Structures are given as C-alpha cells and as structure tokens.
C-alpha cells in the first residue's frame, strides 16, 4: 500500500508533473517525473527544523483500460509497485504513473518491469543537464 504522506491528491500536482516533468513511455504505462527544484533542496537543508516534503505519487487509470473492476485491480497493483520504489525518488519529487490499456491484461511482474524501465529512463533524464 502506498503510504498516505506519499499520495498525490491535488489536481495542480498532477498537472504540474505531466506538463513540466520528464516523460518515459512503455507499452504498459507512462511515467511523468517532476524533480524538485534546487531552491527547494537548499531551503529544505537550510531549515533543520522542517523536514523535506515527501515524494508524491499519483496514478491515472482511465476508462480506456477497462471496466471499473479492471481499473481498480490495475490501480491496486500500481500502488503496490510504486510503494516498493519510493526510495528511488528524491524528497519533493512528483511522480505520475499513467496506465495504458494493455496494462489490464498484464501480470504484476510485467507491470513492475515496465515501471522499473520507465523510472530508470526518466531518472537518468532528470539527472542529466538540459
């Protein structure tokens, strides 16, 4: 289960991550990652009393994936898979995982493999200078 402090709940966060973040697409899903700004990192380190904001993860599973039962099953599996990979995200990062229609018939292992590949790719791009 994805811990409550790491759940993305606000529309503005989803929009920011999708529009301004780096994207990596795979056959089963697409990942959008907006890394925290350098100013946020400095501010978090400068204030010893306040902890850095946690990385937030949001899921998008549209009706194209399938009926409600299928979408719920895909969301559950993606929540579980992203919770296992939270340690790869920097504090303050915004991650949106969007399921493609093919994810409805995919196994959890296949979803995990695609998520790993997409995260690897987007993290490499985030660390590289623009």
Q: For 62-74, what is each residue's pLDDT tens digit?
A: 999 999 999 999 9
pLDDT of residue 128: 66
Contact criterion met (CB below 8 Å) for 106 and 70: no
Residue 52 has a pLDDT of: 82
Domain boundaries 4-127, corresponding CATH code = 3.30.230.10
Look at strands 94-99 and 56-60 and give their pairing.
parallel
The radius of gyration computed from the CA coordinates of the chain, to the nearest angstrom, equals 15
* Of 15, 17, 20, 24, the residue nearest 116 (C-alpha): 24
Within 10 A of 77 (CB to CB), how many other CB atoms are there? 18
pLDDT value of residue 127? 78
69 DSSP 8-state letter: H
Q: Which residues contact 106 (CB under 8 A, 6 or more apart)?
A: 28, 114
pTM of the model: 0.86
Map out the domains of the chain as residue ranges. 4-127
Q: How do residues 31-86 score in pLDDT, each as one tens digit? A: 999 998 754 444 445 444 467 899 999 999 999 999 999 999 999 999 999 999 99
């Amino acid at each position: 289960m994805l811990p409550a402090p790491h759940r993305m709940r606000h529309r503005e966060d989803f929009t920011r991550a999708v529009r301004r973040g780096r994207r990596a697409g795979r056959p089963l899903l697409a990942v959008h990652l907006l890394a925290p700004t350098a100013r946020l990192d400095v501010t978090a380190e400068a204030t010893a009393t306040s902890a850095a904001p946690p990385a937030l993860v949001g899921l998008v599973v549209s009706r194209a994936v399938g009926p409600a039962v299928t979408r719920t099953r895909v969301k559950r599996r993606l929540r579980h898979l992203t919770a296992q990979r939270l340690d790869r995200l920097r504090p303050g990062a915004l991650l949106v995982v969007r399921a493609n229609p093919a994810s409805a018939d995919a196994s959890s292992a296949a979803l995990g493999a695609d998520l790993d590949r997409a995260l690897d790719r987007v993290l490499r791009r985030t660390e590289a200078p623009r």
